[in-house]
């Protein structure tokens, strides 16, 4: 059994839904995970924002436009009046749910319930379309098995216990269909796995059922060796180790949600990245492959703040780093990159919410300098320290770019550079020219 996840662009119109239906009908017995149609989650966030600001008219206007768009999709998708009527009825239920929620006192719970409607609508459209095509489709409601615990982490035991029985109960299904992104939290309330989280859903489902493979279908032919949004001439990478994929996803390769790799890695399930518009392209396979003395890819993570923490008394001092890290821990702020010297330490964070408090605490025992608007450029591949020359090739590529921090040796798979946001594209382009 495989898990096939399709992102928002892949199901973004009636034509695309038909295309995905063709792809998933080629094989029997797989679980299909869908995102909301492209743009829908953003629109639902916008509606929630109006409601949060108590602008009911603003929310209503955007909601009406969204509803009209879905009506058009329904008319373009189905060939029989019977299915048009059924889809209209199901979607009307989702829209009236949103309108009901709009009249409640609006808070985070209400927003999460509104956001959930995107995936519920896309899967409903696909489910009915497959039925119209004569398929035996099994409906697996994510809100009945996908669950997070009190720490907001997936409750893998609960997921298995509640996913396996409905799958086993429908052994003759041509395929199973479920929603990405949405879940319930420890209190049983509707929640989600954070933006882009459908990849995570697919991976958690794959782990729960012990899938043979997890396929992430999107709008590009696999993980490219550099960010195609900023660099010309990028090319797909045919295979990546789990660790390499995790580094790339965490450091900005948007094709894969960073959380998606771990469940697949732990259960040793290959993840294949494929292109819905070009299904015959080989894409990228992520597994426990042996890396082969090559640099595989480059990614960039935006919105980084660097903090330099200098102590006059670090010489032979112990306990300094502990004091520094305790402050970040107290403010629940993860550190991405870290470098040390005799006189101090520089770290980077991407969550600035508690920056002022953190700086206030640090200043009690050190001198602090902050650089905002920075970018981490991450070079990923077989960077085991005995391999000669790889670090120098990456450094050479950045010869003309001011580099604020360099981190190497934390894993066998990555070397990271911190540069100003203004230099990001030049850095990516130069690495492309020098490394590939």
Binding site for ligand ADP (CB under 6 A): 7-10, 35, 196, 218-220, 223-224, 227-229, 253-255, 299
Strand partners, 414: 380
Q: Binders of Mg ion among 283-322, rule CB under 5 A?
A: none
What is the rounded distance in angstroms from the CA atom of residue 296 to the CA atom of residue 236? 10
Q: CB of residue 323 vs ligand ADP: minimum separation in angstroms?
A: 37
Q: Does 196 bind Mg ion (CB under 5 A)?
A: yes
Q: Which residue is nearest to ligand ASP (CB)?
A: 198
Shortest Å distance, C-beta 177 to Mg ion: 19
- Closer CB to Mg ion, 189 or 194, in the complex: 194
Find which of Mg ion, ligand ADP, ligand ASP, none residue 220 binds, CB within 5 to 8 Å per kind: ligand ADP
Residue whose CB is less far from Mg ion, 215 or 430? 215
CA distance 16 to 10: 6
CB of 10 to ligand ASP, least distance (A): 10
- Residue 154 per-residue DSSP state: B
- CB environment 16-41: b (16+ within 10 A), e (fewer): bbebbbebbeeeeebbbbbbbbbebb
CA-wise closest residue to 248 among 264, 232, 261: 261
Pick the closer one to ligand ASP by CB: 197 or 222.
Answer: 197
Residue 127 Cα to chain centre, angstroms:
24
Q: Which is nearer to Mg ion, 198 or 430 (CB)?
A: 198
Of the pair 123, 407, the CB lying nearest ligand ASP is at 123
Query: Shortest Cβ distance from residue 428 to ligand ADP (Å)?
Result: 10
Q: How many CB atoms lie within 10 A of CB 412?
A: 16
* Structure token pair of residue 370: 């902050």
258, interface contact from ligand ADP, ligand ASP, Mg ion, none, CB < 5-8 Å by kind: none
Length of the chain: 436
Q: Which is nearer to ligand ADP, 35 or 48 (CB)?
A: 35
Closest CB to Mg ion among residues 147, 257: 257
Question: What does 36 interact with, of ligand ASP, ligand ADP, Mg ion, none (CB < 5 to 8 A by kind)?
Answer: ligand ASP
Q: How far is CA 262 from CA 21, 101, 334, in A?
A: 28, 35, 18
CB atoms inside a 10 Å sphere around CB 42? 13
Could you say whether residue 222 binds Mg ion (CB under 5 A)? no
Could you tell which of ligand ADP, Mg ion, ligand ASP, none binds residue 219, using a CB distance below 5 to 8 A set by kind? ligand ADP
Q: Which of 340, 344, 351 is nearest to 365 (CA)?
A: 344
Nearer to ligand ADP, 91 or 245 (CB): 245
Rank residues 21 and 345 by Cβ distance to ligand ADP and give the closer one: 21
How many angstroms separate the Cα of 127 from the Cα of each of 71, 90, 118, 145, 356?
A: 16, 11, 14, 18, 49
Write the DSSP string, 189-239: -EEES-TTTHHHHHHHHHHHHT-SEEEEEESSSS-BSS-TTT-TT--B-SE
Whether the CA torsion 297, 300, 301, 305 is positive or negative: it is positive
Under the binding rule (CB under 5 A), the answer on residue 381 touching Mg ion is: no
The listed partner (Mg ion, ligand ADP, ligand ASP, none) that binds 181, CB under 5 to 8 Å by sort, is ligand ASP
- Based on its alpha-carbon atoms, the radius of gyration of the chain, rounded to whole angstroms, reads 24
Nearest-angstrom CA–CA distance, 11 and 185: 27
**Local structure of 149: helix, strand or coil:** coil
Shortest Å distance, C-beta 41 to ligand ASP: 3
Closer to ligand ASP by CB, 117 or 366: give it.
Answer: 117
DSSP 8-class letter at 424: H
Cβ burial, residue 397 (10 Å; 0-12/13-18/19+): buried
CB of 115 to ligand ASP, least distance (A): 8
Exposure class string for 318-327: b at 16+ Cβ within 10 A, else e: eebeebbeeb
At its nearest, how many Å lie between ligand ADP and the CB of residue 419?
17
Query: Least distance in Å: CB of 412 to ligand ASP?
Result: 30
Residue 195 CB, nearest approach to ligand ASP (Å): 4
Partner whose binding site includes residue 197, from ligand ASP, Mg ion, ligand ADP, none (CB under 5 to 8 Å by kind) = ligand ASP
With respect to ligand ADP, which residue has the nearer C-beta, 247 or 361?
247
Q: Does 258 bind Mg ion (CB under 5 A)?
A: no
Q: Which residue is nearest to ligand ADP (CB)?
A: 7
Q: Tell me which residues touch ligand ASP (CB under 6 A).
A: 7-8, 35-36, 41, 118, 180-181, 195-198
Beta carbons within 8 Å of 322's beta carbon, 6+ residues apart = none
Give the one entry of ligand ASP, ligand ADP, Mg ion, none that residue 41 binds, where binding means its C-beta sits below a cut-off of 5 to 8 angstroms depending on kind.
ligand ASP
Q: Which residues bind Mg ion (CB under 5 A)?
A: 7, 196
């Amino acid at each position: 059994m495989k898990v096939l996840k399709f992102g928002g662009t892949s199901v973004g119109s009636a034509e695309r839904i038909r295309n995905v239906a063709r792809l998933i009908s080629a094989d029997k017995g797989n679980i299909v995970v869908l995102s909301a149609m492209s743009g829908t989650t953003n629109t639902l966030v916008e509606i929630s924002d109006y409601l949060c600001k108590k602008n009911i008219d603003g929310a209503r206007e955007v909601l009406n436009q969204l509803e009209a768009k879905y009506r058009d999709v329904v008319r373009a998708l189905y060939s029989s009046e019977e299915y048009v009527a059924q889809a209209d009825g199901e979607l009307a239920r989702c829209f009236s749910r949103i309108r009901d929620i709009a009249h409640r006192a609006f808070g985070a719970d209400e927003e999460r319930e509104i956001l959930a409607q995107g995936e519920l609508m896309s899967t409903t459209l696909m489910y009915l379309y497959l039925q119209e095509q004569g398929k035996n489709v099994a409906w697996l409601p994510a809100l009945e098995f996908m669950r997070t615990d009190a720490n907001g982490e997936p409750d893998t035991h609960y997921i298995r216990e509640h996913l396996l029985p409905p799958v086993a109960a429908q052994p003759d299904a041509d395929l199973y269909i479920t929603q990405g992104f949405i879940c319930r939290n420890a209190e049983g309330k509707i929640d989600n796995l954070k933006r882009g989280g459908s990849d995570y859903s697919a991976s958690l489902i794959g782990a729960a059922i012990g899938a043979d493979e997890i396929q992430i279908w999107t709008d590009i032919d696999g993980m490219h060796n550099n960010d195609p949004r900023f660099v010309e001439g990028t090319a797909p990478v045919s295979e990546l180790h789990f660790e390499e994929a995790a580094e790339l996803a965490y450091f900005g390769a948007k094709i894969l949600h960073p959380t998606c790799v771990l469940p697949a890695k732990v259960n040793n399930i290959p993840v294949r990245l494929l292109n819905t518009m070009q299904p015959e392209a080989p894409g990228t396979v992520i597994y426990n492959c042996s890396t082969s003395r090559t640099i595989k890819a480059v990614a960039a993570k935006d919105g980084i703040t660097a903090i330099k923490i200098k102590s006059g008394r670090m010489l032979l001092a112990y306990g300094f780093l502990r004091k520094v890290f305790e402050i970040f821990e107290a403010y629940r702020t993860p550190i991405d990159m870290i470098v040390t010297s005799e006189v101090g330490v520089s770290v980077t964070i991407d969550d600035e919410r508690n920056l002022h408090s953190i700086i206030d605490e640090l200043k009690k025992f050190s001198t602090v300098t902050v650089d905002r608007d920075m970018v981490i450029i991450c070079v990923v591949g077989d960077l085991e320290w005995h391999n000669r020359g790889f670090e120098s090739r990456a450094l050479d590529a950045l010869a003309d770019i001011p580099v604020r921090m360099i981190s190497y040796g934390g894993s066998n798979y990555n070397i990271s550079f911190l540069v100003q946001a203004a230099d990001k594209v030049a850095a990516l382009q130069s690495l492309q020219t020098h490394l590939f």
